């Protein structure tokens, strides 16, 4: 009986693994969409338009999403901003500096305190600066998760930013109970701050 259960669980793991790989290679991507009327088509030559400081729009989407973080936020980063952003509704600001056609320096600030500084790697595609796909897996004894996310930044003629974000995450609890957490937030506008 134990052998049959073991074989059955092994088959389930293989099937879940194949589904996960297939999903990650085809999901969390942006469909080619039309630019808004107010949007400037970004190219390698005008990418410097993104330079500046912007107020994150946390009211239309989740405040603690992966916007501008470059990767998933860790527990220390989450704890340092949770009370300020989620409870006290203190806005956070993003300063972008184009380093070259494939990378942006990002500083995230709350109350004039730099929470994180990182470089987002990507390339200009379809009028946006599109971050390279972020993929990962967390295999733990009781909890397994696999995720894939994409993020892109557009520039509006009124000097504000427009962003799109898509995340697909799924896994299992105790190897048997499946879950998924998919998010897609499009056309989120971040206002430029006068420096």
Output 62 or 180, whichever has higher pLDDT.
Answer: 180
Name the residue among 78, 109, 77, 113 with its Cα closest to residue 95: 109
Identify the residue with better confidence: 145 or 75.
Answer: 145
68: number of Cβ within 10 Å: 26
Query: How does pLDDT run across 48-62, given as a tens digit for each residue?
Result: 999 999 987 665 554
- Provide the whole-model pTM: 0.73
Which residue pairs from 79-87 have beta carbons closer than 8 angstroms and sit at least 24 positions apart in sequence? Answer: 80/115, 81/110, 81/115, 84/110, 84/111, 85/58, 85/110
Whole-angstrom Cα distance, residue 162 to residue 47? 14
Q: Indicate the DSSP class of residue 64.
A: T
Rg (CA), the chain: 19
Contact 74, 120 (CB under 8 A): no
CB atoms within 10 A of CB 126: 15
Check residue 31 and give its pLDDT: 64
**Residues in the chain, how many?**
195
Q: Give the model's pLDDT for residue 62.
A: 46
Contact between 187 and 164 under an 8 Å Cβ cutoff? The reply is yes
Higher local confidence (pLDDT), 167 or 31: 167
- DSSP state at residue 82: I
pLDDT tens-digit map of 87-102: 777 778 889 999 999 9
Residue 50 tokens read as 């993104």
Report d(CA 186, CA 31) in Å as an integer: 11
The span from the CA of 19 to the CA of 22, in Å, is 5
Q: What is the largest CA-CA distance in the chain?
A: 70
């Amino acid at each position: 009986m134990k052998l049959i259960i073991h074989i059955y669980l092994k088959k389930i793991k293989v099937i879940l693994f194949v589904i996960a790989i297939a999903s990650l290679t085809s999901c969390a991507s942006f469909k080619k969409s039309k630019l808004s009327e107010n949007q400037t088509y970004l190219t390698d030559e005008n990418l410097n338009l993104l330079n500046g400081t912007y107020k994150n729009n946390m009211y239309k989407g989740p405040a603690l999403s992966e916007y501008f973080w470059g990767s998933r936020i860790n527990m220390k980063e989450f704890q340092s901003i949770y009370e300020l952003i989620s409870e006290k509704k203190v806005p956070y600001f993003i300063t972008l500096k184009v380093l070259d056609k494939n990378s942006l320096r990002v500083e995230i600030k709350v109350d004039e305190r730099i929470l994180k500084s990182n470089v987002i790697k990507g390339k200009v595609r379809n009028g946006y600066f599109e971050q390279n796909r972020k993929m990962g897996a967390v295999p733990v004894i009781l909890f397994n998760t696999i995720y894939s996310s994409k993020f892109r930044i557009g520039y509006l003629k009124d000097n504000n930013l427009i962003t799109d974000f898509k995340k697909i995450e799924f896994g299992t609890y105790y190897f048997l109970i499946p879950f998924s957490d998919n998010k897609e937030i499009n056309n989120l506008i971040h206002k430029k701050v006068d420096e």
